[in-house]
Structure 1
């Protein structure tokens, strides 16, 4: 039925607003005409408009903001169904995706491409100028000390700020329990080196970031992929069965807003995970790199908050929400601190001093929380807009995730699509995506792709439309 064909006036308004939302006139996060404006436009009573808006709100299309009006919801009804819980094999396997990773990375700096897949934040939203001014000002202030080595633990001023922020995630730690690293990847690598030897088995989410997989491959470790729910993360019943049937030397999870799924382990399940791994004395490497980019009312806690044995090593960085190029991350190593600190010293001595100090000053200034509030809102809107466009242009059998944080969308395409072939075809149209093969040691996700909503734009929307056209030719 067209929106003009409703039997009653309020039905016509309902259909009209839905039509305008689905075709992009009103995008997720946008305000819609006020009750009074719609009343004048449609020549109906305010009561009629209110009735229509209440129906739209009940159906999940809009949400009332007190004293502000009605806004299009970030997650819209009628979205594609989600991908099923993953079902990887039950045997550990060696990781061998190096060539695929390097192939995809080779295009990351190609400015001719529309980058729909790489997990980079939107640098236009980041406080680059302020951070760079901090660098210059601090360099002048401390003079020659600015080019001196830092200590393996990292600058105390930064560790203090991280410790304060961790209180929101449920963790009470002191600065000396934190080790600053050169990005989150180094933090994960140090943790794996501290508790594993070549040939050991690590249980991981499936799918999981290829950054994690490359760390595992480089260290000669075997991977046991654990079924993972697209919204609630690693299945603990599956993890328990795996532990009971074979030797697991460590576990690695992206607990909040998994890359690429966007899944977030509920807090009660995080406690269950900590208890389960504690019972069997299995170390956990917890990646919380997207933890600050949440769309819910409060920040999700971390598994580390429930760890009573010091087995959880919490890793993160400022790469997704502040300054990816500064390469500053950190780890709270628990009982493995002494070993991690030594490994940090023997691998790179210390993380560069000036970027640490610039970030510490930015955090101390109170500017970080307003920045996070802004990017959370924009990324939530961008993800919803991307989902709407995927729905419009991709085949009906497509499934997409519904992330409650981060800026990544995991897309399951029809079985006839090979994501590697799609990747190559898209490059010919100057579009770059990330094929699903990269997110599994066993290359399970041949008909999946990862899309990035951080840099959403009209150009990106046209690229998604073109991608849909390419997919239709692959049948």
Structure 2
């Protein structure tokens, strides 16, 4: 079987377009400068003239070049890029969570007493969930073969009961993958869970009791908030920069003034901002908490989406005394349907292992063996590079569409990788009201109010591009912007 997945291979014309785009970004080609002719481009890259034409069309679609009759292609004037969202400023005190679950919150804003009538031009288009759904992202044949092989070899496990911390094969495969995070983890210290959020939940139960305060980024993943609410924990949201992540000075102040029991953080590609903390800040975070004997629960589910190991490095890599509990899964990179997670719980290994056992959380041996197989095959890193390039291109195109379609003054995150963008609407625009209008036309997204325990972010929204990306989705994204502009123009 080939190591490369043909379903995610970037077309040749797009590869050429990306290279020229990078040269434009680096100002090798400057605004107004004439680009190589079609024949020259074809000759330089060893492709047909028709492929060169497609490459220029690819660049035109991204507003990087413009065609001039009888003169050729020139570098287009650069449009003004949207600014980054503002640094969040949550309240300095902790809050008891009293919010509806994600499903209930969204249901409130569905049209009442009638079926949703979807606009003819906009079938159901979801920019909501961040779980990848586009078949381009995964090699389903590879997954199917691995699952069939595991079922055949380990068929007897289907009629056996297991409450182990996980199969040795998968724990060893996870330990090998953790090397790419800068972590030297022992397979015997790893515990396999039913998902990453399950792993986070076990860690929280191991180190907190009802009423305790948990500090985390703001905005944060709504799944964390739902989990904290279910455990009757209080939340303290910490200011977060859209590029550099959790504010360490703000966290230091919070530690000095609040009875924080644990910090729950996504230092690499936080959800929804996509921020990545510098390695020096990750080290400082670990040391700051270690000096106070406060555990850090680190979610590394998105780290592999960064192409280079040096950028993937986890905060756990700087842990000297077992104070970091690191949780992950491969649902964003290998196969969402293999719903398995893992945790290395540091000093709390025995507590987390016991909690998994007594709460009836055994995982499926066949799925574990299939995932171990997939993680051990060659080509994983190549697939991550292709996936990263695909999503970087998609997110940049989406940022351009938002810049062109949304109200003036809209701010947009600019993550290094990942599947989502965080959009901050100008003025007093209400993202929940916008959501209601979009649902009536068959378009959904994540309203900003879902990503906080407060009433903030009502003017924000999270857009996920983990699903299909065709002209239908492009038109739907532009339609969200049009409806937002209308809302802003309304008296």
C-alpha distance in 1 between matches for 2:140 and 2:59 = 32
Q: Which residue of 2 aligns with 1:365?
A: 377
Q: Report deviation, 1:345.
A: 0.7
Q: Report deviation, 1:377.
A: 1.0
Q: How does 1:215-294 map to 2 (within 5 A)?
A: 215-294=227-306
Q: 1:220 aligns to what SS in structure 2? A: coil
Q: How does 1:89-100 map to 2 (within 5 A)?
A: 89-100=91-102
Q: 1:292 aligns to what SS in structure 2? A: helix
Q: Report deviation, 1:128.
A: 2.2
2:460 pairs with 442, 448, 451, which one? 448
Q: 2:441 aligns to what SS in structure 1? A: coil
- Residues 25-73 of structure 1, C-alpha deviations (whole Å, 9 max, x = no match): 5356x9979xxxx999737xxxxx9xx87xx8xx9x7xxxxxxxxxxxx
Is contact 1:91-1:224 (8 Å) kept? yes
- Residues 385-435 of structure 1, C-alpha deviations (whole Å, 9 max, x = no match): 110100010011100011012111000001221111111110001000110
Q: 1:249 aligns to what SS in structure 2? A: strand
Task: Give the count of matched residue pairs.
Answer: 431
- Residues 233-275 of structure 1, C-alpha deviations (whole Å, 9 max, x = no match): 0000000011011211000111110110000111110000000
Q: Which residue of 1 aligns with 2:206?
A: 194
Is contact 1:122-1:454 (8 Å) kept? yes
Q: Aligned in 2, Cα 1:138/1:12: closer, same or farther, shift over 3 Å?
A: closer
2:130 is the alignment partner of 1:119: yes
2:350 pairs with 310, 319, 338, which one? 338
Q: Which residue of 2 aligns with 1:102?
A: 104
C-alpha distance in 1 between matches for 2:338 and 2:323 = 29
2:60 is the alignment partner of 1:26: yes
TM-score of the aligned structures, taking structure 1 as reference length: 0.84
Q: How does 1:414-433 map to 2 (within 5 A)?
A: 414-433=426-445
Is contact 2:157-2:365 (8 Å) kept? no
Q: Which residue of 2 aligns with 1:46?
A: none
2:313 is the alignment partner of 1:301: yes
Q: Which residue of 2 aligns with 1:86?
A: 88
CA RMSD of aligned residues (A): 3.1
Q: Report deviation, 1:150.
A: 3.7
Moved more, 464-473 or 253-262: 464-473
Q: Aligned in 2, Cα 1:418/1:165: closer, same or farther, shift over 3 Å?
A: same
Is contact 1:101-1:438 (8 Å) kept? no
Unaligned runs of 5+ in 2: 1-28, 38-53, 111-115
Is contact 1:263-1:403 (8 Å) kept? yes
Q: Report deviation, 1:102.
A: 3.2
Q: Aligned in 2, Cα 1:200/1:22: closer, same or farther, shift over 3 Å?
A: farther
Q: Report deviation, 1:100.
A: 4.2
Q: Which residue of 1 aligns with 2:396?
A: 384
TM-score of the aligned structures, taking structure 2 as reference length: 0.81
C-alpha distance in 2 between matches for 1:176 and 1:31 = 52
Q: Report deviation, 1:285.
A: 0.6
Q: 2:325 aligns to what SS in structure 1? A: strand
C-alpha distance in 2 between matches for 1:436 and 1:426 = 15
C-alpha distance in 2 between matches for 1:16 and 1:85 = 42
Q: Report deviation, 1:143.
A: 2.6
Q: Aligned in 2, Cα 1:247/1:132: closer, same or farther, shift over 3 Å?
A: same
C-alpha distance in 2 between matches for 1:23 and 1:180 = 47
Q: Report deviation, 1:105.
A: 8.0
C-alpha distance in 2 between matches for 1:11 and 1:445 = 37
Q: Aligned in 2, Cα 1:21/1:283: closer, same or farther, shift over 3 Å?
A: farther
Q: Report deviation, 1:22.
A: 13
Is contact 1:382-1:454 (8 Å) kept? no
Is contact 1:149-1:353 (8 Å) kept? no
Q: Report deviation, 1:296.
A: 5.9
Q: Aligned in 2, Cα 1:179/1:297: closer, same or farther, shift over 3 Å?
A: closer
Is contact 2:59-2:65 (8 Å) kept? no
- Residues 134-159 of structure 1, C-alpha deviations (whole Å, 9 max, x = no match): 22222122332244334431111111
Q: How does 1:306-325 map to 2 (within 5 A)?
A: 306-325=318-337
Unaligned runs of 5+ in 1: 1-8, 44-48, 62-76
2:473 is the alignment partner of 1:460: yes
Is contact 2:425-2:460 (8 Å) kept? yes
Q: Aligned in 2, Cα 1:147/1:365: closer, same or farther, shift over 3 Å?
A: farther
Is contact 1:295-1:404 (8 Å) kept? no
